[in-house]
């Protein structure tokens, strides 16, 4: 048998790559109204490598099944496909739901047992978010671009807003918890920049509520800090 050492490490590197390339809507139309994003083949490749590693080591018991709620969610959508007016489109959506909520979930859930991977994943997520926010700020400051065209690496401002609604509260959590003053200051400026380019009303409301709630639970001095950041 040909030895293939380090497959688990390759899987982890692949998952970090998935995190890095996920925040984009760039895709290629492979069939009519069927688009293939950058992250799709990457997830397939990582899943294939992991399967090879499992068969090679015969370590089937190491796979952690997804939570029952996720299985039921995908299963309910699968049932609805047969009643859909657009069967082909629904089938494509079912494939992607399975890919993201089952395949990717299982891969990340398994890798999360490694503390080193979690630390690296957090760093890659933070750097990726900063890059997306920086791109949106550049777009925001470009005079020739309409403000409501500011979308970062996404297709429109609403999808960018959805992304910011996920990452900004996490950044703020680091700000109020970290002991490093320099990191706290840098992340505070990044959060202000993210709020600056948030041009989706629903996202702004969600961010204001989440930041204020996080600050209330942390301590009496964090609430004025969060209010100052939001007002800025």
Nearest 5°: phi and psi at 228?
-65, -40
Tokens (6 digits) for 230: 């939001």
Tokens (6 digits) for 209: 């509520």
User: Whole-angstrom Cα distance, residue 1 to residue 15?
Assistant: 27
| Residue 89 and residue 33 in contact, taking contact as beta carbons nearer than 8 Å | yes
In DSSP terms, 28 is beta-bridged to: 36
Per-residue burial over 49-87, b if 16 or more Cβ lie within 10 Å, else e, is bbeebbeeeeeeeeeeebeeebeeebeebeeebeeeeee
Per-residue burial over 184-194, b if 16 or more Cβ lie within 10 Å, else e, is eeebbebbebb
E strands within the chain?
A: 27-31, 34-37
Tokens (6 digits) for 111: 């890798």
Alpha-carbon distance values, 14 to 35, 47, 154 (Å): 22, 9, 22
pLDDT tens digits, the chain, 232 residues: what are they?
334 447 888 999 999 999 999 998 888 877 666 778 889 999 999 999 998 888 887 776 667 778 899 999 999 999 988 888 888 888 888 998 999 999 999 999 888 888 999 999 999 999 999 999 999 999 999 998 888 889 999 989 999 999 999 999 999 888 888 888 999 899 989 999 999 999 999 999 999 988 888 888 877 777 887 788 777 7
**Residue whose entry in the numeric block shows the structure tokens 């040909």:** 2
**Residue whose entry in the numeric block shows the structure tokens 């490749």:** 45
């Amino acid at each position: 048998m040909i030895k293939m050492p380090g497959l688990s490490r390759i899987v982890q590197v692949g998952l970090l790559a998935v995190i890095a390339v996920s925040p984009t809507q760039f895709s290629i139309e492979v069939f009519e109204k069927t688009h293939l994003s950058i992250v799709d083949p990457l997830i397939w490749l990582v899943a294939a490598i992991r399967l090879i590693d499992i068969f090679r080591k015969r370590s089937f018991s190491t796979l952690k099944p997804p939570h029952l709620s996720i299985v039921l969610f995908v299963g309910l959508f699968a049932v609805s496909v047969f009643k859909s007016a657009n069967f082909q489109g629904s089938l494509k959506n079912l494939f992607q739901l399975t890919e993201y909520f089952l395949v990717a979930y299982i891969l990340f859930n398994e890798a999360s047992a490694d503390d080193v991977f979690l630390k690296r994943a957090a760093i890659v997520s933070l750097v990726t978010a900063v890059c997306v926010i920086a791109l949106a700020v550049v777009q925001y400051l470009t005079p020739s671009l309409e403000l409501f065209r500011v979308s970062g690496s996404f297709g429109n401002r609403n999808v960018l807003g959805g992304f910011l609604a996920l990452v900004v509260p996490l950044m703020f959590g680091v700000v109020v918890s970290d002991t490093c003053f320099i990191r706290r200051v840098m992340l505070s400026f990044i959060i202000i920049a993210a709020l600056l380019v948030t041009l989706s009303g629903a996202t702004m409301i969600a961010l204001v509520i989440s930041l204020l709630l996080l600050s209330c639970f942390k301590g009496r001095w964090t609430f004025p800090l969060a209010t100052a950041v939001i007002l800025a």
